Chain A
Amino acid sequence: MFKKILIASLSVLVVAGGIAGLSAFEAHVINVTAKIENALEVSSEEIDFGTVFPQEYLAEPLTIRLSDSFMAEERVDDVDYIIRQKPKCGWTIMKGTVLIGDTRTGEVLIDENGEPYVSCEPEPQEPPVVPAEYPQQEVPVWGELPSLCQYISKTPDMAPEPGNDTAMPSFHQPYKVIGDSPNYELVWNDTYGRLSKLEGDTADEWLIDLAVPCFGDYCAQDWEEWVKSINEAAEPSMYTQPIANEHKIFGCDLWVEVGAISRVVNLENKDANWDIIPGDGIEGKVSYNKRGSSFKGVVVAQGLKSNSQYQLTINGPGGGGVGVGSTNDLIAGSACDAGNQYCGGWWTGSQPIVCQLGGSAGWEGFYVFDLISCSGTATKAVTDSMGNLYYEFDVGLRAGAYSGVKFLIKESFSPWQGVMFETEPLDFVIE
């Protein structure tokens, strides 16, 4: 009996060990990675403007906001997004005047002559049933609906003042082709929006307006004047519709595409042992983009001296690598690119060394990135009369992966005492 139990136990052990071992081996050898992208596309509900008449102007609301789950996440702050207009495909009957069944977003492609065209391929396999109120001999036709995109405007809510979203008036081209043969490229005419917890902007209330075009030669005398009153840059003759499209169903898909996301790190005053000093009222947050062409973000802090300048500094990891391409090297090099006086370079632990190629073990790259000029000590970051600081930054840094970055708020005069430090290191990628 004992022998049987022993054999059974050993068998289970061997099988479990084998599975675990082979799993690890397969994961290592196969090397297929899967990861969730930090991107999201939202298609809005059908905004039905109904039957409209030439030169009518109609508006519908669209709310884009941070989700409850994003609001609950403490380590992320803001998202940047675009609103993009894409062509719409659908089934129509009665010469395109009645839309039935499902619709789909069309794909914009470029032909060999550099001309854009819309593809609705592949056609859905099953056409929808013609509703009973229409002649049953009608055959549903699949294809692109006449475009409404150029007539749709996006008006932002201008909050918080003076507004951090862009506007797009009606009478514009939703996309264009640039470049020369054969390297044509499609460029979308997007509208940009931003949401941020730190900036108190957690919801954008957009107004989606439709300026209805006129058809053929049946435009009112004030057509040109009306178009110019909505979009001064528009050429009115480009936005009349052929008479053949009168009474047809027009369409456009609005897509909200979220790309950039930023992370939040707390800033605190610390004592000589590098422990946070609790309850002193000196605290803040830095929100920064995890990936981008520059180091971009916002610093919000309180408990500082009123109406005072402060230096904002990033340092590489102490004891980290100093070789070419290391975080310390990238920071020191970026500071050197900006100037060679006080902006930054290498911190040896006791003194700064500006613009020296390569550092020694134990040194940290540092960059004071809010100086008005690298030949002076005056800074752009200034507190208000209550000692609060709000500062948006957009700093050009050398391309590379930055990890273990320190973030410091320092006084702007000798000995440049640090008053606030990151509670955890920053990590980001500059493309």
Chain B
Amino acid sequence: MSKVKIVLIIIAALIVFVLAIQVINASKYKMVVNVVEGENVAGVNVTTERLDFGDLSRNNGAKRFVSLKNEGRISTYIMVWKFGELSELVNIDRNFFTLEPRLEEETKISFEVNIPPSAETRKYEGRVWVFRIPLLWTIF
């Protein structure tokens, strides 16, 4: 095996290694909304185990929030991934930004779902991963 090949394999392995760590350390949440019949109906649920938007009739919307705080010494890059059926209906107000360390206030990301008139009356589910990638060079 040539030296170049070995170096490439090591680099690829390192990339996989780093990606695996980021996936493991990402905050992972389930999202759910239950579309119900009727007009102007909003059934609420504010438990914190998942991003539950409750029961919503068509044309209604709801927002839930994830708060972030960096209590370490390193700036952290925040990246939010959403996937699944519900993700198409969910808008995120902040994504791909740097979270500075030791800010007194928490940074909030809002997840807003809007139920279109064409939605079926059933449960829609999706998932959100919030990656927190350390910008190691900011420690110096």
Which residues of A come within 8 Å of B, CB atoms? 15, 18-20, 22-23, 26-27, 29-47, 60-70, 73, 76, 79, 81, 195, 256, 258-259, 261
Contacts and interface: CB of A to CB of B under 8 A. Distances in A.
Given A32-B68, A42-B61, A76-B47, A15 B17 contact: yes
Nearest to B69: A33
Contacts, number: 159
A259 B44 CA distance: 11
Chain A interface secondary structure, helix, strand, loop or mixed?
Answer: strand
Contact of B48 (A20, A37, A195): A37
B117 to A, nearest CB: 10
Given A64-B44, A68-B55, A43 B67 contact: no
Nearest to A208: B40
Given A19-B17, A67-B55, 10 more contacts: A30-B76, A34-B27, A34-B67, A40-B54, A43-B61, A45-B40, A45-B59, A67-B34, A69-B45, A258-B46
A33 B102 CA distance: 12
Contacts of A33: 68-69, 71
Contact of B67 (A29, A35, A42): A35
Contacts of B58: 45
Contact of B62 (A20, A22, A38, A42): A42
Interface of B: 13, 17, 20-21, 24-25, 27, 29, 32, 34, 38-72, 74, 76, 99, 108, 130, 132, 134
A63 B38 contact: yes
28 contacts: A30-B25, A30-B70, A30-B74, A32-B70, A34-B66, A36-B49, A36-B64, A36-B65, A36-B66, A37-B108, A38-B48, A39-B64, A39-B65, A40-B45, A42-B61, A42-B62, A43-B62, A45-B40, A45-B57, A45-B58, A66-B44, A69-B52, A69-B54, A70-B43, A70-B46, A73-B45, A79-B46, A256-B44
Contacts of A81: 44
Nearest to B41: A63
Contacts of A66: 43-45
Contacts of A70: 43-47, 52, 54
